[in-house]
Structure 1
Amino acid sequence: MQEESSSEPFEAPAPIPRTVPPSRLEIIRVLFRNPLELWGEPSYTLPVIQISFFGQKTTIANHPGLIKHVLVDNASNYGMQTIRQLVLRPILRDGLLTAEGDTWRRSRKAMAPVFTPRHARGFASQMLRKSEEFSARYEKAAASGATVNIATDMTELTYEILAETLFSGGITTGTEGFADKVDQLLHSMGRIDPMDLLQAPSWVPRFTRLRGRRSLALFRGIVAETMAARKAKMATGEAVPDDFLTLLLNLEGDDGLSRDEIEDNILTFIGAGHETTARALAWTFYCLAETPAFRAKMEEEIDSVIGTGAEPVEWLERMPHVRAAFEEALRLYPPAPSINRMPLKDDRWTDENGRVFELAAGTSVLIMPWTLHRHKLYWDRPRHFIPERFLPENRDRIHRFQYLPFGAGPRICIGATFALQEAVIALAVLMHRYRFDLAGDQKPWPVQRLTTQPVNGIDLKVSARKASPSVS
């Protein structure tokens, strides 16, 4: 348990833990509407819970030792949970988030060089340029004190950064309306259907997702056009960028990736790769609007570092307050609120008190950053926004396996370093020029689709701080 500052922090809006178990029918309704509203008080207070959920034995793992056992120590014995795959595979097929076995290993190995910390640092100047270009769009809003939907805007900004860094601007669609397209896809496809709970075969129609077919076809079309345009250039011998897209296309073949696997991975990054960072950025701006004292410290830090002329590649280390705010937002609103696994063979784990937990093959193991990050055993004032906990002098108090915004083990998010650097640069650029304040009394409400989203966006009022049009 951590001790934080004595001042009263801001309590971030979130569902109150249930004190009465829901009925079977209510479980179905809540899981379809918003799974974040399902969890009861035990999920936020007990280290391990073993229950029967729709006839399947389920272990909810909040204990850092059990989490380490599942995700790291015995990771080879744990595959993806069935319900998770029934939701995600229709969208991403054999993309990196859903592939398993040899398919996943080949894809992960192929992409790893692009996302090493050293390579990711090479994207800093592009991240800076796109953030500056995007920030110019707020000039009119700032001059009039207008309100913007920061959730939509961050989706578009992170998409533009992704398109520039990994695809060299080669994605065959613009950014206008892109956030709405993503929302339509995730709203219709990224939720649990009653047939998923019954674990019906994938060929059984999910009527709740029928409306999403058009959105999915749109994204598949974007991917196909993007691949075709780049391959046409490669076929003529024209010089092409040495980027993520070219890397994947060059891997097509019997010893590499199939065409379908390449398409699935490109879709994963275009449709979801930027979404996690976008959501966390939006939540960060909102929490800072509710916490002006810490925001002021960030502004001072940002102005100081930028004033020295420091290169953007240095900002992640030189702006600890900016990073801490983003990481605290990741704690409160983890973009991936659940990690779902299934033992392939019978397993067991023993806690520090000698209690043995049986984990039978084929049962469900839920590791939920949403509940883990708000767990009363591991966090002081867990429902409150306290970024100080992530400042360098306090980080050692946080157990590696009580904080999982990017997962852990072999399947840890491949773009973690990329996302942290991108977020700090975007926050610094926008907060150097503007201030984002609350636009009304209504609080944004988190809802789980594929990511933790604000159900109706986040409206913030923009005002100018700095007149300088550029920090580069």
Structure 2
Amino acid sequence: MDARPAPFVPPAPRPRTRPPSALEMMRIVYRNPLELWGEPSYNEPWISVNGVGGPLVIANDPGLVRHVLVDNAKNYRMATVRQKILRPILRDGLLTAEGEVWRRSRKAMAPVFTPRHIFGFAQPMLKRALEFVERYEDGAVTDLAADMTMLTYEILAETLFSGEIAGSKETFSQDIDRLLETMGRVDPLDLLRAPDWLPRLTRIRGRKTMAYFRGIVSDTMALREDRLKRDPDGAPQDFLTLLLKAEGPDGLTRAEVEDNIITFIGAGHETTARALGWTLYCLAEAPWEREPIEREIDAVLAGEPDPAKWLEAMPLTRAAFDEALRLYPPAPSINREPIEPEHYKDLYIPPKAAVLVMPWVIHRHRKLWDKPDAFLPERFHPGNREKIDRFQYLPFGAGPRVCIGAAFAMQEAMIALAVLMSRFRFETTADTRPWPVQKLTTQPQGGLPMRVTRR
């Protein structure tokens, strides 16, 4: 008889059994959009309805997802509602830019994220992770969500900015939370597609935090520009320098350089931080999954000194991280609008429809996954992951706008998990009751208080 415990089912909203009223829907969307979706969303290949703000298409079928994001991507632009949320924060950063601005930005950043450069980031990633883990005391309780925000910030600062970011590290995680709390939510007026001149009260409170972040970026750029003037050949050839060098008549404008820096400071590390926190939480609640991963990490660290090779050498660790990305996708919603109306099979996609490709729903879809709500890393073990359709698993998106930093994030996550789990074990406490909330990312409401025990 199999003595293996029943799989751990981590917290998530139950699918709704009845549609909400218009007022209720706006309240849910503001508070936590993950609580909006009903049983049909988790069972049907697609849903087409008239929503509060107009036509709405929920795309779950992998073929339809591929059609929207890849095969006919030229017919789809970023959705109006999504842009209203993100553009006040990121402006013309890579996540929000469109058309020629997006093409210039993507071209300017591509050299930073080649495999050669990413492998070169491995040692600085390891250095920062080793320094970070020294802060833990045996038996202490810590908020792992805040810790992972700080760790990924320090890795980002070291790798892409060579440690030269202005501002205070001590308050950074709180500032990020405050920014996403105030400006990273859907405002009811956005849902109604109200005109831009109507003030969004939900974002007025975020202006001070936004100004703070803009100040960090401006000061960071000034520090590097001064160094480039003093010693052009001695300045590090990292993300910051490459972007500044891309500034000019045929490249990026000054404002676009600033927007892309703030995109990576504010969003580039936030997604990895959340995924690391959810991974360690799920493993704490499923120790039978954690134990073989600890053995794998111990063996790799004892025999492979090059951290750039750890991603390929640790398939069980990667599988657990991939499964946490499935259950808690950092970017839970991908929003598009058709430029021209069209048909996909028997589905009509009308003009100005909000087309939602939602990793949160697709990753838990009853027709695509066995035991979709359970934490089962074995789905991603070698031999199993190859059976997963490319367009039913979208932690980094897909198509031309696929996340440019996906390989960077995967390497960073494996190095961080290896260092953390080789030295410590993280256990839940009576106060560990996370609830997934969608802001810009899938965040654990209430944080992740966990006890740290030296192995």
> Which TM-score band (shorter chain)?
over 0.9
Deviations 1:46-83 (A, max 9, x none): 11100111141111000000000000001111000011
User: Counterpart of 1:456?
Assistant: 446
Alignment of 1:63-462 (within 5 A): 63-138=61-136, 140=137, 142=138, 145-238=139-232, 239-350=234-345, 356-440=346-430, 442-462=432-452
Identity %: 61
Q: Compute the displacement of 1:198 (Å).
A: 1.7
Letter in 2 for 1:282: G
Deviations 1:425-456 (A, max 9, x none): 00000000000011116421000000000011
User: Counterpart of 2:44?
Assistant: 46
Q: Compute the displacement of 1:304 (Å).
A: 0.5
Q: Compute the displacement of 1:361 (Å).
A: 2.5
Instruction: Give the CA RMSD over aligned residues.
Output: 1.3
Sort the Cα spacing of 1:289 and 1:247 in 2 relative to 1 into closer, same or farther, 3 A.
same
Q: Compute the displacement of 1:195 (Å).
A: 1.2
Letter in 2 for 1:249: L
Contact between 2:146 and 2:447, CA under 8 Å: does it hold in 1? Answer: yes
Cα distance in 2 for partners of 1:5, 1:162 equals 43
- TM-score of the aligned structures, taking structure 2 as reference length: 0.98
SS in 1 for 2:134: helix
Cα distance in 2 for partners of 1:25, 1:98 equals 29
Consecutive unaligned residues of structure 2, counting only runs of 5 or more, are none
Letter in 1 for 2:181: H
Cα distance in 2 for partners of 1:395, 1:194 equals 39
Cα distance in 2 for partners of 1:56, 1:152 equals 38
User: Counterpart of 2:14?
Assistant: 16
Deviations 1:130-163 (A, max 9, x none): 000000001x2x1xx1111000000000000000
Deviations 1:332-357 (A, max 9, x none): 0000000000011122111xxxxx11
Cα distance in 1 for partners of 2:44, 2:115 equals 36
SS in 2 for 1:11: coil
Letter in 1 for 2:374: H
SS in 2 for 1:378: coil
Cα distance in 2 for partners of 1:250, 1:263 equals 13
Q: Compute the displacement of 1:194 (Å).
A: 1.4
Cα distance in 1 for partners of 2:53, 2:445 equals 31
Deviations 1:166-191 (A, max 9, x none): 00011012321210000000000000
Sort the Cα spacing of 1:347 and 1:274 in 2 relative to 1 into closer, same or farther, 3 A.
same
Sort the Cα spacing of 1:5 and 1:214 in 2 relative to 1 into closer, same or farther, 3 A.
farther
User: Counterpart of 1:353?
Assistant: none
Cα distance in 2 for partners of 1:232, 1:309 equals 40
Please identify, of 116-125 and 179-188, the stretch whose mean Cα deviation from structure 2 is larger: 116-125
Deviations 1:355-385 (A, max 9, x none): x111122211000000000000000110010
Q: Work out the number of aligned pairs and report it.
A: 453
Deviations 1:248-291 (A, max 9, x none): 00111110000000000001001111000000000001000001
Deviations 1:221-261 (A, max 9, x none): 00000001111122233521100000000111110000000
Q: Compute the displacement of 1:6 (Å).
A: 6.9
Letter in 2 for 1:432: S
